[in-house]
Amino acid sequence: MISVHGLTKVFPGGVRALDSLDLEIGEGEFFALLGPSGCGKTTLLRTIAGLETPTSGSVVIGGTDVTALPPGRRDVAMVFQDYALFPHMDVTDNIAYPLRIRKVPRARRRARAAEVADRLSLTELLGRRPGQLSGGQQQRVALARAIACHPRAFLFDEPLSNLDARLRLEARTFLKRLQDELGVTTVFVTHDQGEALALAHRIAVMDAGRVAQVGTPAEVFHRPATTFVASFIGSTPMNLLPGRMGDGALHVAGAVLPVPGDPPGGEAGRGAGDGGDGGEIVYGVRPEYTDLSTTRRDDGFAGEVAVLENLGTATLVTLEGPGHLVQAVVPEGREPALGTTAWAVPRPGRALLYRDDVLVGRA
Ligand code: ATP
């Protein structure tokens, strides 16, 4: 439905915001662009919308190369972070605005605005101006305006970022249901990995103008392709510990761990085993897949309990060992005392092995 090929954007002054980027987004997909500040998410979205001209490369929407077309002829609707509503127009006129631009007669515009407003529970607010609405209501008006003219795709730039934490969760569920119902291809930018995991069918994790990984939420969460993706995805960051292979074992932060016997991933798995003696690796395991023992374990990372953070139904425990920090999530009430020694033990099959920052296997 939307594809970009070799897309590069160099801003005046030399900032390379997009670097030979390729991406394919399917019909009806809810697709997230995720990444740290400055990685090029907004530039990519604006280039798809036609608000930025790429330095090189192309944008194809619905089989048509639109690279040279102005935004108004791309048949996509963009919702901006600040909603960009017209303050002097009431809700009806704001929703109907894109139809007015398309010269739809007034009666049909108002009927369509009323229909979309009904769907988004805005009917009672139709006569108000944006200044008389809450942030959540303004966001729904911006969505309604995007929906009004039946675009082929929605492009959302951080649509939830101006809402407070509770409203944000409500709006997230609302957005998910709406996209399910309408089935319109949607690309949305976020720097919030929780939002991307919760909403998207697929996620592109971006790093410095490039795509580090494209996958379903489960793929990027359970099999992050690089240490960059591994450290970016997850509500608590993945433990990433340097180690080496030798003597038929993995030696990581004082622990001796079994080398993966039958690693999934074929070539990648063999790559992990090929390291032989002295092969340097990075060992990754999520705190949620790390158990704590208060008795010595050779297959555990020893450390002093340095921090306890309450997560509600669980506690995040930080162990400080010689030259490393390791975190584990333990059920509430099971946390060890501060200052005591404990061993963080990765669950078998849950660890990931990286060589030169690229995933090579599971342990
Ligand atoms: P954020 O999450 O902070 O919004 P982002 O991932 O959306 O970040 P972009 O806004 O796409 O990042 O910016 C990518 C890079 O391009 C940044 O280094 C930014 O400073 C630069 N940039 C963006 N717009 C311009 C511009 N008009 N002129 C010059 N540099 C720009």
Query: CA–CA separation, 28 vs 95, rounded Å?
Result: 23
Distance 48 CA to ligand 1 centre (A): 15
Reduced to 3 states (helix: H, G, I; strand: E, B; else coil), residue 43 is helix
Structure confidence at residue 72 (pLDDT): 84
| Strand 153-157 relative to strand 185-190, pairing | parallel
Establish whether residue 11 lines the binding site of ligand 1, counting it when its CB lies within 6 angstroms of any ligand atom. Answer: yes
User: How many Å apart are CA 189 and CA 286, to the nearest integer?
Assistant: 25
Say what percent of the chain tops pLDDT 70.
95
For residue 43 and ligand 1, the question of a CB distance below 6 A is answered with yes
Whether 269 shows a pLDDT value over 70: the answer reads no
Strands of 16-25's sheet, edge to edge? 16-25, 2-10, 56-61, 64-65
φ, ψ (nearest 5 deg) of residue 262: -135, 70
Give the pLDDT score at 35. 93
Q: Which helix (H) or strand (E) holds 142?
A: helix 135-148
Is 303 a pocket residue for ligand 1 (Cβ < 6 Å)? no
Distance from C-alpha of 120 to C-alpha of 126, rounded to nearest angstrom = 11
Mean pLDDT of the residues in the chain: 89
- Segment 122-135 mean pLDDT: 91
Residue with CA at minimum distance from ligand 1 atom 30: 11
How confident is the model over 69-74, as a mean pLDDT? 89
> Of all protein residues, whose CA lies closest to atom 11 belonging to ligand 1?
40
Mutate to test the pocket of ligand 1, among 7, 16, 41 (most ligand atoms within 8 A of CB): 41
- ipTM metric: 0.95
**How confident is the model over 78-88, as pLDDT tens digits?**
888 777 889 99
Q: Which residue is closest in CA terms to ligand 1's atom 16? A: 17
Give pTM, 2 decimals.
0.87
| Model confidence pLDDT, tens digit, residues 192-234 | 899 999 999 999 999 999 999 999 999 999 999 999 999 999 8
From 15, 44, 48, 193, give the residue whose CB has the most ligand 1 atoms within 8 Å, as the site to mutate: 15
pLDDT at residue 134, rounded to an integer: 87
**CB-ligand 1 contact for 48 (6 Å cutoff):** no
The DSSP bridge partners found for residue 24 are: 3
Distance 33 CA to ligand 1 centre (A): 14
Most confident listed range (18-32, 63-77, 97-111): 18-32
pLDDT at 265: 43
d(CA 166, CA 160): 11
pLDDT for the residue numbered 278: 59
Q: Is 313 in the pocket of ligand 1 (CB under 6 A)?
A: no
Closest CA to 122 of 97, 177, 132: 132
- pLDDT tier, 273 (very low <50, low <70, confident <90, very high otherwise): very low
Dihedral over Cα of 130, 135, 140, 143: its sign? positive
Q: Is the CB of 36 under 6 A from ligand 1?
A: no
Residues 205, 232: Cα–Cα separation, whole Å: 9
Structure confidence at residue 272 as a pLDDT band (50, 70, 90): very low
Lowest average pLDDT, out of 53-57, 88-92, 259-263, 291-295, goes to 259-263
Closest atom of ligand 1 to 43 CA is 11
> Starting at the edge strand that comes first in sequence, how are the strands of the sheet with 358-362 ordered?
255-258, 249-252, 239-246, 279-285, 352-355, 358-362
Atom of ligand 1 nearest to the CA of 209: 14
